[in-house]
Structure 1
Amino acid sequence: MRQIEESDYGVATAPNEVRFERSLPGPVERVWAYLTEADKRRQWLAGGEMEPRAGGSAKLLFRHSEFTDEDPPEVYREMNEKGFLSEGRIIAWDPPRHLAMTWPGDGADSQVEFELFPEGDRVLLVVTHKRLADRDEMINVSGGWHAHLAVLEAVLSGEKAPPFWSQIKALEAAYTARFNER
């Protein structure tokens, strides 16, 4: 398991937007599969089917126990064990380069965009979460994306996934400090 580097942290690109970049083992079609195919996506984020077209449904079944054996904080215990279904819509579907979808939140939906750029035998994955309701939601999703992307990187590298739940509290504190500096 590698150390967290400064470049791993998401960057606030607007008051309601955060962007992450990760260099991942390719090829680009493989990374695309881990974003769009339920059996691969459940290994780092959430299972659930996506209709492969703009306007299609994006069902994400979050069951973190599928990729971590750590006990979750009490607030996430039921979601960890029984799962939580989140339903959004595909906004953009351009394999294997661009996927965007709505992301249900408390009230209004936000949007998540995945962009893939081949770089030799690696792929630059850019994840941008937009239209976040407020600073608290931005901190929450930043810690979550940071931890989930670390799991994705480990899965694609054939390594043991890093701890998930034990990172969340520390990541939320780190993002609180980072976003308070703005």
Structure 2
Amino acid sequence: MNHIAFDSHGVLTEPATFTIERLLPGPVDLVWAALTESNLRKHWLAAGEMVLERGAPFEFVWRNDELSEPPGKRPEGFEEEYRLHSRITEIAAPHRLSITWDDTGDVTFEIEPRGRRVLLRVTHQGLADRDTLLAIAAGWHMHLDILVTRAKGLEPEPFWAGWLRLREDYDRRFAK
């Protein structure tokens, strides 16, 4: 697979598969913790306790309004909180975690050391329709931008404004 330029847009690596990468400060264990520990993950993605075992169910709880100050205006159709039931399908700590993503496919997180930094690759498979693809692509991009920004000790841009901008960007990039 070709590597994506860091801090850039993700790409379609297959017709229904979106892949995006970010380079983060290390070590690997710190990035693994940010991915698997609810108290850290809630600051960039979603809360939800995980039992780190294959087959273990868990729930992600999104409160995107809490990811930035100000959050920006929430688009129509989005609630203050969103819950997603998931299950761990593969785990090889601290380098790989695969999970189910409700009815929109499966997600794999891969963590690779790169010197003093760490590459985080997110691959979301099974994106069956265009609206889902655009929402998921913008979501992963914005959430990972927040993770990178927070890792640098900075405050992220307003979540919803960034998500709307990125959804439009991906709409152009993935034009039919």
Alignment match, 1:99:
97
Gap regions ≥5 residues in structure 2? none
Read off the aligned partner of 1:75 and give its amino acid letter. E
Q: Deviations 1:53-97 (Å, cap 9, x if unpaired)?
A: 110113101112332232332426632xxx222111101111110
- Whether the aligned pair in 2 keeps the contact of 1:142 and 1:172 (CA below 8 Å) is yes
| Matched residue, 2:76 | 75
Runs of 4+ in 1 over 4 A off after TM superposition: none
Cα contact 1:58–1:101 (8 A) shared by 2: no
For residues 145-172 of structure 1, the C-alpha deviation after alignment (integer angstroms, 9 at most, x for no partner) is 1100000001112111222111112111
SS at match of 1:39: helix
Partner of 1:10: 10
- Structure 1: which 5+ residue stretches go unaligned? none
Percent of residue pairs identical: 38
Task: Tell me which residue corresponds to 2:146.
Answer: 151
The Cα of 1:39 is off from its aligned counterpart by 0.3
Report the 3-state secondary structure (helix = DSSP H, G, I; strand = E; otherwise coil) of the residue aligned with 1:86.
strand
Q: Is the 8 A contact 2:6 2:23 kept in 1?
A: no
Aligned length: 171
**Normalising to structure 1: TM-score of the pair?**
0.88
| Partners of 1:147 and 1:168 within 8 A in 2 | yes
Is residue 16–residue 135 contact of structure 1 (8 Å, CA) maintained in 2?
no
- 2:123 is paired with a residue whose SS is strand
Counterpart in 2 of 1:25?
25
Higher helix share: 1
For 2:122 and 2:18, the matched residues in 1 are separated by 8
CA positional deviation for 1:7: 5.2
AA partner of residue 112 (structure 1): V
Tell me, yes or no, if the aligned pair for 1:150 and 1:162 is still in contact at 8 Å: no
Q: TM-score, normalised by structure 2?
A: 0.91
1:102 and 1:112 in contact (8 A); partners too: yes
